[in-house]
Chains A and B, each alone.
Chain A
Amino acid sequence: MAATDGELIQKIAQNDTKAFDLLFSRHKDAVYRFAFYLTQNRMEADDLFQETWLRVVKYLPSTGDIRDFRAWVLTITANLHRDELRKRKLRRLFFLQSNKNLDPEFNELEKADSFNLARTKDESRQVDANLALKKAIASLSLKQRKVFILKEIEGLKHAEISEIMKLPVGTVKSLLHRAIKKMQHELSDFLVD
Chain B
Amino acid sequence: MKCQQAEKLIISLSELNEKERRELDNHLSQCPKCIKFKKQFEILHRKIGEEKFLTPSESLQQQTKMRCHQEMSSQSVAAGSTDGEKAPLEIPLFARITLTILIALLLSWGVPVLKDYIEKDVLTGETIYLFIMLIQNILALMFAPILLRFLKLKRQSLHYT
Contact between B63 and A42, CB atoms less than 8 A apart = no
> Among B54-62, B86-94, B112-120, which stretch is in contact with chain A?
B54-62
Decide if A78 is an interface residue (CB 8 Å cutoff).
Answer: no
Decide if B8 is an interface residue (CB 8 Å cutoff).
Answer: yes
Residue in B closest to A29 when the chains form the complex, CB atoms: B55
* CB-contacts of A177-191 with B (<8 A): 177, 180-181, 183-184, 187, 190-191
Which residues of B lie under 8 Å from residue A177 when comparing CB positions?
4, 7-8, 11
Contact between B61 and A28, CB atoms less than 8 A apart = yes
CB of B157, distance to nearest CB on chain A (Å)? 11
Contact between A157 and B75, CB atoms less than 8 A apart = no
Contact between A152 and B45, CB atoms less than 8 A apart = yes
Which residues of A lie under 8 Å from residue B72 when comparing CB positions?
12, 15, 17, 20, 57
Decide if B71 is an interface residue (CB 8 Å cutoff).
Answer: yes
A: contact size bracket? 35 or more
Contact between A158 and B43, CB atoms less than 8 A apart = no
Interface size on B, residues (CB 8 A): 35
Decide if B121 is an interface residue (CB 8 Å cutoff).
Answer: no
CB of B82, distance to nearest CB on chain A (Å)? 13
> Would you give the 0/1 interface string for B45-58, flagging 1 where the beta carbon is closer than 8 Å to chain A?
10110011111110
A interface residue numbers (CB < 8 A to B): 12, 15, 17, 20-21, 24, 28-29, 32-33, 36, 42, 45-46, 49-50, 53-54, 56-58, 61, 129-130, 133, 151-153, 157-158, 173-174, 176-177, 180-181, 183-184, 187, 190-193
B interface residue numbers (CB < 8 A to A): 4, 7-8, 11-12, 15, 37, 39-41, 43-45, 47-48, 51-57, 60-61, 63-65, 67-69, 71-73, 75-76
